[in-house]
Amino acid sequence: MEFDQPEPAAPVMAETRLRPCWVSTMALKPDMVLAKSVSAASGGYATMSLPAGATLAEETIGQMIVKGIECVAVLNTEPMSEADYALATQSYEARLGQIFGPERTEHCQALLDALLRRGPMPC
């Protein structure tokens, strides 16, 4: 029996600075809102299923920790300003240039290109 349900299509965000944030369950706070659904299973049985848009309560966060959920996507309620995000993007691109170096294999270049398209984490 399959418990995974298809993820609803997320709206395309014009700016990467507005993307959802991935947050460790240990750093979650009550009233945060899930940007993606969360599910957990044990012994083939669903033990937790929360839809995108659910508001987190302290008890729910505790259950996630007990069930071994490490991180979840929450809505980005405090996006960086456009200027700050531009600076973060410059820093991100420079750091990736240092990590990947000037000579790249085809596979490394493909990974670098994907990371550059993704942009820095907005939170």
pLDDT in tens, 57-109: 999 999 999 999 999 999 998 888 889 989 999 999 999 999 999 999 999 99
Locate the DSSP E strands across 1-123.
21-24, 38-42, 45-50, 71-74
Q: Dihedral of CA 83/87/121/65: which sign?
A: negative
pLDDT band at 43 (very low <50, low <70, confident <90, very high): confident
Residue 73 sits at φ, ψ, to 5 deg, of -95, 125
Q: CB of 49 within 8 A of CB of 3?
A: yes
Kindly indicate the confidence band of residue 37, based on its pLDDT and cuts at 50, 70 and 90: very high
User: Looking at this protein, which amino acid is placed at residue 95?
Assistant: R
pLDDT band, very low/low/confident/very high, at 1 (cuts 50, 70, 90): very low
Whole-model pTM above 0.75? no
The encoded tokens of residue 110 equal 């493909």
**Is the pLDDT score of 16 beyond 80?**
no
pLDDT tops 70 at residue 38: yes
Token output for 61 = 């966060």
pLDDT for 19 equals 86
